[in-house]
Structure formats: C-alpha cells, structure tokens
Structure 1
C-alpha cells in the first residue's frame, strides 16, 4: 500500500515541487493545503499517513498547524519544511510534535530519507 501524503505550503510552486518529488518516489499525494488551518481540516477529512508542513504561512503558521493536527491525531506523522535560518522555529515545531524537518531548496534524497525515517517510527 502506498504512503498517502498531505502537502502544506502557502507557495503553489513549492507544493508542486514536493508533489513531483514524492510522486516520483512512489508516494501518493492525497491533498494540498495553503496554511495550517486548511491542513487541519484536510487532515480530519483525508487521514493521510504523513504531512509535509511549511513553517511560515499566512492565517495559521506551520507550528500552529502541527499543534492543530496533533489535537486531532496525537500519532500524526509530520515533517516540517523550512528555509535556511529558521532553526529556532524548527526546534519549536519539533517540540510541538513534528518528527523531522527538511530544508529548502528540497533535495529528493533528503525528502525520501525524512519520509522513510518518520514512517518507520
């Protein structure tokens, strides 16, 4: 069975980039969201196996998004996506329940590694 992924990023081209990489790796993208609020709503509806979550987004950022999803499902598997220089936010995201993080610009092998690591926990 394929791993089902929800991609969360406010930038359309970033979502497309991640989507291209994860589908190439053989995973299924079940949904996309532009912010943490949408992510939590879609998480309830789609029940994905894994979420990739951007940190900096309008309306509800990734850290709040992680907390919202963890309230819905304490076992949710979330990988944060951040730009360079957001280390303190990455630490906060991990304390909030994210299980790994990948730094932009994305590299296919790093995404594969993060997904495998999180799914095998």
Structure 2
C-alpha cells in the first residue's frame, strides 16, 4: 500500500496538536481523512470515513481516548488505534493498550517514530 493510500483519522481535543500531527503525517505522505475533537465524535467519524488508522489522544473531555478505543474496537474489531500521549503515567498508556490500542505515540511527535509505528501496524513487521 502506498503511503498516500493510508487513510488516517486524528482525534485530539487540542486543535494545535491536530494541526501539528496533520502537517507531519501529510509531509510523510499519508492521507488525513478527518479529525475529531473527542471520543464520541471519533466514533461518528470512524463510521463515516473508515480510516486505516486512528491516532487518538488519551485525555479528552466527555469520552476519553481509552473509552473511545474500547468502543471503537467493539464497533470494528479490526480497527487500528494508536494512542497519542504526553503523559509519563505508565498506568494511562497501559490502560490504552489494555483497551486495544496497538501502540503509543509520545508527544512531542517525532516524524520517524510516527512513520515506523504506522509501517509496523500496516505490515505486521
């Protein structure tokens, strides 16, 4: 699959982080098909857009990224969720992995790490 064919949904309540992540992903060559500001909106966008990958923040109002990841995988067991976090709390990132996230992207974002994580997720290698 070519990079431009990889469809990504960004979920973060902070517009700044969505903009930074979108710019990084597009610079790498991926296609950002949408954005959401909370977990409930993420579920709606996922249903409508069917992205290959969802990059989800952990800390959001209303429905956080852990709850949204759990609900997303109940909706589609094949969903691929990467959780984005600036947290140093291992319990939060472990809770996201326990909910079904496939990996953790730490903020601030490093383009090479994003690329490698997505490549591994898509290829299984």
1:69 equivalent among 67, 72, 78: 72
Once the two structures are superposed, residues 64-112 of structure 1 have per-residue CA deviations (whole angstroms, 9 ceiling, x without a partner) of: 0101110110010010001131321111111111001111111111111
- Offset at residue 113 of structure 1 (A): 1.1
Q: Which position in structure 2 is the counterpart of 1:51?
A: 54
Q: Which residue of 2 aligns with 1:79?
A: 82
1:53 is paired with a residue of what secondary structure?
A: strand
Q: Which residue of 1 aligns with 2:12?
A: 9
Pairwise CA RMSD: 0.9
The SS at the match of 1:52 is: strand
Report the counterpart of residue 109 of structure 2 in structure 1. Answer: 106
SS in 2 for 1:74: coil
How many positions carry a matched residue from both structures?
121
Q: Report matched runs for 1:13-24 at 5 Å.
A: 13-24=16-27
TM superposition score normalised by structure 1: 0.96
CA–CA distance in structure 1, aligned partners of residues 68 and 75 of structure 2: 11
Gaps of 5+ in 1: none
Alpha-carbon distance in structure 2 between the residues aligned to 1:120 and 1:61: 28
2:36 corresponds in structure 1 to 33
Structure 2 stretches of 5 or more lacking a match?
none
Query: Within 2, Cα distance between the matches of 1:16 and 1:56?
Result: 17
Where in structure 1 do 4 or more consecutive aligned residues deviate above 3 Å? none
